[in-house]
């Protein structure tokens, strides 16, 4: 019968036996316990009692022997360590609920909160942008005026309109000291102008712009009396409402030009109107000598009323109906424009005016005020007013 073979490494090692003595112990040599020589021995290991390691896992007491000491018995007692956990930090209900949630539900909760914030912000922006603006329908509501008129002011219509200028309602040339030079300031009559109210470029905050000048269909021929003004884009400002509706205002300066026949300058002013016997489309032959009088920086002011008053509108041609509102134009000599002058010109072959080589400075009245206010008096002022 063959015995099973076991590996040497599987055999459990026996506990080592070691003999130890205190450092202060002096041995008494009675016999030799080793066959080795004295020179080979360790100085701290001497002959003594054998101490075997004590197995403590199965016994509670066992004797222990020390050299030159009485036998003692060692008792082994197992004692459990008492401990108490630290109290938890107080937390809110939401913190405890959040701590009990899984990672998946935490991510869903964060995404839902972000979606709610974005939705709220979008609703607020949409409500702010869709808020009705009363200015889109009526730029300014009526604050005063005729109690019998209950209509609401209409918005200012944009476009290009024909402005027929008839006889002026007011005119004055008292800023000129000499009577024979007063014809140099004449007010336009029997003339058509073109008023353009331009559309807004970007938004409602952009001011309304207007232009005023000679119609694009005009032949632009030279005629006696005042020439048509040329006013570039000018901003409109809103004034208080009046009996004639919402009031808009614009103002600009330009170089005012008046064409006179050669014999008109220096001629004594008669009782008849200087505009009599002057046709609108008077043409001059080439070589005709004329006077061109210039008033630099003349102030032109315009008042636009959204509600048309048919009682104060000049009735002449059918073109008046093309103007959807009431318009008042006022012109006055500006004190900052310097001294007015007249220069002699000659009609060229192409109808243009050429320099005639002579000029005359007009004499101004002393102490002129230059029409200090829009509704000022006519003393020492040169001004014109038309209502269309």
What tens digit of pLDDT does each residue of 237-254 get? 988 776 666 789 999 999
Whose structure tokens read 């914030």? 117
The pLDDT of residue 180: 86
pTM of full prediction above 0.75: no
Looking up tokens 């009031």, which residue turns up? Answer: 247
Residues contacting 183, CB < 8 A, separation 6+? 173, 258, 260, 264, 265, 267, 269, 274
Per-residue confidence (pLDDT) for residue 278, from 0 to 100 = 52
Asked whether the beta carbons of 384 and 331 are under 8 A apart, the reply is: yes
Yes or no: say if 241 and 140 are a contact pair by the CB < 8 Å rule: yes
More confident residue, 258 or 101: 258
Given a cut of 80, is residue 131 above it in pLDDT? no
- Residue 45 CB contacts under 8 Å (≥ 6 apart), including other chains: 19, 20, 21
Q: Which of 43-47, 76-80, 321-325 has the highest mean pLDDT?
A: 321-325
Say whether pLDDT at 310 is over 60.
no
* 8 Å CB contact between 374 and 383: no
Which residues are CB-contacts of 84 (< 8 A; sequence separation ≥ 6)? none
Q: Mean pLDDT of all residues in the chain?
A: 73
pLDDT tens sequence across 352-372: 888 888 888 998 886 444 444
Alpha carbon separation from 184 to 171, 261, 264, 295, 385 (Å, rounded): 13, 11, 9, 9, 17
pLDDT at position 63 is: 57
Please enumerate in sequence order all residues whose Cβ is within 8 A of that of 21, keeping only pairs 6 or more positions apart, or say none: 27, 44, 45, 46, 48, 67
**CA–CA dist 335, 385 (Å, integer):** 18
What tokens does 61 get? 């007491």
Cα pseudo-dihedral 295, 303, 208, 129, rounded to 10: 160
Condensed to tens digits (0 to 9), the pLDDT of residues 214-232 reads 888 777 777 888 999 999 9
321 has pLDDT over 50: no
Exposure string (b/e) for 54-74, b if CB count within 10 Å is 16 or more?
eeeeeeeeeeeeeeeeeeeee
């Amino acid at each position: 019968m063959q015995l099973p073979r076991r590996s040497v490494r599987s055999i459990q090692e026996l506990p080592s036996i070691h003999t130890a003595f205190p450092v202060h112990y002096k041995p008494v040599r009675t016999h030799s316990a080793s066959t080795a020589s004295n020179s080979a021995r360790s100085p701290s290991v001497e002959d003594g009692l054998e101490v075997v390691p004590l197995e403590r896992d199965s016994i509670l007491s066992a004797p222990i022997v020390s050299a030159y000491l009485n036998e003692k018995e060692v008792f082994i007692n197992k004692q459990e360590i008492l401990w108490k956990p630290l109290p938890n930090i107080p937390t809110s209900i939401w913190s405890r609920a959040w701590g009990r949630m899984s990672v998946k539900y935490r991510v869903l909760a964060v995404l839902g909160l972000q979606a709610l914030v974005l939705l709220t912000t979008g609703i607020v922006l949409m409500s702010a942008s869709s808020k009705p603006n009363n200015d889109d329908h009526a730029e300014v509501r009526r604050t005063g005026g005729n109690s019998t008129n209950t209509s609401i002011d209409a918005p200012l219509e944009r476009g290009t309109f024909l402005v027929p200028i008839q006889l002026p309602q007011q005119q004055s040339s008292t800023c000129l000291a000499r009577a024979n030079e007063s014809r140099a300031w004449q007010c336009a009559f029997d003339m058509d102008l073109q008023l353009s109210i331009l559309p807004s470029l970007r938004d409602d905050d952009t001011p309304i712009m207007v232009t005023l000048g000679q119609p694009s269909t005009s032949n632009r021929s030279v005629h006696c009396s005042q020439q048509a003004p040329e006013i570039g884009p000018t901003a409109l400002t809103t004034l208080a409402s009046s009996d004639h509706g919402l009031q808009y205002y614009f103002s600009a300066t330009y170089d005012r030009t008046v064409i006179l026949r050669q014999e008109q300058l220096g001629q004594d002013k008669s009782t008849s109107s200087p505009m009599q016997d002057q046709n609108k489309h008077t043409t001059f032959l080439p070589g005709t000598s004329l006077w061109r009088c210039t008033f630099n920086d003349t102030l032109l002011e315009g008042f636009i009323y959204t509600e048309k008053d048919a009682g104060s509108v000049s009735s002449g041609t059918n073109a008046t109906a093309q103007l959807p509102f009431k318009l008042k134009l006022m012109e006055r000599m500006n004190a900052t424009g310097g001294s007015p002058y007249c220069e002699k010109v000659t009609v060229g072959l192409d109808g243009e005016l050429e320099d005639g080589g002579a000029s005359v400075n007009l004499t101004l009245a002393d102490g002129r005020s230059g029409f200090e206010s829009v509704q000022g008096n006519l003393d020492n002022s040169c001004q014109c007013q038309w209502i269309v």
